[in-house]
A and B are shown apart, each in its own frame.
Chain A
Amino acid sequence: MKETPLSICEKQCVIQAVKEGQRVDGRSLAEQRKTCITFGTEWGCCQVLLGNTRVMAQVSCTIQVPKSSRANEGMLFINVEMSTMAAEHFEAGRLGQQGIEVNRLVERCIKDSRCIDLESLCILVEEQAWEIRVDIHVLNHEGNLIDAATLAALGALCHFRRPDVTLDGREVIVHQLDERDPVPLTILHYPLTLSFALFDQGKIYALDPTNLEERSADGKLVLGLNAYRELCTLQISGDGVFIRKEAVLSCANVAASRAVEMVEMLKKCLAADAAERIKGKYDGLVSSVALEAERITTQSQATAYFKTPVHNLEENADEESLSVPKTKLVKDQGIVTLETKSDVSSSESDIEMEPLPPASVVKKRVYEEIDIGNDSEEEPVMLITKELT
């Protein structure tokens, strides 16, 4: 099935809004959507929610013969699956141009930046080594698949434990999980990607674009960064996008500070998951369903496009000092500086949530379902959410 074409008025609306420093879902230009990271009960299962974009990654391992060119290294294989479940124009089993782009960028960010120590995955030189396979499944497509996919892949790799092996002469003994504690992968640094949608010939850029913004933008700038402010990947692509060097540099600086926050958040989520596991009480991905404010259906997606920001007057007064110079900059240089509005984060929750009357009903039902599967009376919410503002 072909993707529904975007109408000119929808496109114009998004572009006009961005030119005025606004976005259709009420965020500012340098603001990300709410990010949630949840881990499954299995080792190496991670699900990332970026707004309504939902991506799941599962890591698995097998013992293989290493490549002759790299005889003392294990292998890392990254695979992206985009089924029709995520969006109507995706074809199951066949990656389109978009799928290949996502796959290559995740590969470049994680594999080419050598964040996993592959030498530690070698068991016997030229004979046996671990092959780590990351399967990324896009569950719902609501823009910015690349960021969600890399975060999910990284989360899954950090979470993953492989069975311990010992050598008896030249015989390899693989220990069962109950026999010996599984071993985590050696992770050297944590690379993430941050995407900007470019508008107005690369003069305006919006962080973490939604599907609607992605489709109305001129192009896209994807930056892969780690917590040490090192660039791991960079890509500018799009039909007819022109960008100046200064814009690239300022985007890189914004992204670098965001990457630090994201890595911290991922580490916190990992620590929380580990703590829950020690307690022996974790409910895996179920918690991510429970916390969802509204169920995503095709109808609610259509209405979710346009959300009017409900700014209170008192908050506006606080923001004035920030928002005034920003709009000025648009006029003066044509370049919007991306400012962090740290004090708005508290107000953001009531803008984003906007509880629709049927949503609460849906939420209640979901909770009931969990109780059946979980047989505990209270609702253990181990999900850590943080609003990156």
Chain B
Amino acid sequence: MSGTELLSDQGLRIDGRKPNELRRIRCSLGIFAQADGSAYLEQGNTKVLAAVYGPHEIRGSKSKALHDKAFVNCQYSTATFSMGERKRRPRGDRKSTEMSTHLEETFAAAIRTELYPRSQIDIFVEVLQADGGNYTTCVNAAMMALVDAGVPLKDTVVSCTASLVKDTPLVDVNHVEQSGGSPELVVSILPHSGEIVYMSLTQRFHIDHLSKVLDTAIKGCKDIGVILKEIMKGHLTKLDTSLQAS
């Protein structure tokens, strides 16, 4: 698919969105009883489940324990039925391992790990349906699950993608835009300070566009942050009223 079709002459994207429009976000918290925290997040057609266990004692080899902070363990997994072509194994391939590493790094930065020395926090994310921006949706879902688990965070982490088509930056790209040969910039930020925790880029564009695309991604992150905060508040007030009633 050529780049010209991704943005119509009227300035609309392939799924009818404006360039700076996010996909619909739906989220529910506390969906699993056995996990300490869990969340289900939908960004457009990308659907992700996240579960958080911990902080608990180090499981497996004790050598992973850090004497001054908690060890964050993440597992990124894509369901075999999540894509058009059936995936052979949900995790263990290079791309999934890379994603797990990046999730670990991001959350090790965001969680106040120094409060739990010699312990472990597990984060499991599962992509149920992949429609672009899988990694960003996973970060957002994992963050919501951490909030649900009540793990202390320095700041919420939100993540968003941006692309560039016909010199116009697009926010929150979907699968068609992503695989259509346009670049994809993934950014995770701490919305309060605006600091970047993780960033990655695939495909190429001129360095002069970087500032513009980065701004779009950061704006997208902040917008998602506002929406997620509302959902968090709604969930917590519901919890509060149900507690008071009982």
Residues of A within 8 A of B (CB): 97, 100-101, 103-104, 108, 112-113, 191, 202, 219, 225-226, 228-245, 248-249, 252-253, 256
Contacts and interface: CB of A to CB of B under 8 A. Distances in A.
Interface string B200-215: 1111111110110011
B231 interface: no
A206 B29 CA distance: 42
Interface of B: 94-95, 97-98, 101-102, 105, 108-109, 185, 190, 193-208, 210-211, 214-215, 218
23 contacts: A97-B101, A100-B101, A112-B202, A225-B207, A229-B206, A229-B208, A230-B207, A231-B205, A231-B210, A233-B202, A234-B185, A234-B199, A237-B101, A237-B198, A239-B109, A240-B105, A241-B197, A242-B195, A243-B195, A245-B215, A245-B218, A252-B207, A256-B207
A112 B203 contact: yes
Given A97-B97, A104-B95, A108-B202, A244 B207 contact: no
A114 to B, nearest CB: 8
Given A100-B94, A253-B207, A236 B109 contact: no
A248 B200 CA distance: 12
Nearest to B218: A245
A226 B201 CA distance: 14
Contact of B206 (A108, A231, A234, A248): A231
Q: Which 3 A-B pairs have the closest CB atoms?
A: A234-B201, A242-B195, A240-B109
Contact of A101 (B98, B108, B208, B211): B98
A273 B218 CA distance: 46
Given A100-B97, A229-B207, A238 B185 contact: no
A248 B108 contact: no
Contact of B204 (A97, A104, A230): A230
A252 B190 CA distance: 22
Given A100-B94, A101-B98, A229-B207, A242 B193 contact: yes
Contacts of B94: 100, 103-104
A244 B195 CA distance: 5
Contact of A237 (B105, B194, B203): B105
Contacts of B207: 225, 229-231, 252-253, 256
Contacts of B199: 234-236, 248
A100 B100 CA distance: 11
Given A112-B202, A233-B202, A248 B214 contact: yes
Nearest to A229: B207
Residue among A104, A202, A226, A240 with most chain B CB within 10 A: A240
B31 to A, nearest CB: 29
A80 to B, nearest CB: 10
B105 A239 contact: yes
B210 A104 contact: no
Nearest to A115: B204
Contacts of B190: 242
A256 B207 CA distance: 8
A255 to B, nearest CB: 9
A219 B200 CA distance: 14
Contacts of B200: 233-236
Contact of B196 (A103, A228, A248): A248
A236 B197 CA distance: 7
A243 B205 CA distance: 21
Nearest to B201: A234
A104 B204 CA distance: 16
B160 to A, nearest CB: 14
A248 B190 CA distance: 16
B206 A228 contact: yes
B101 A239 contact: no
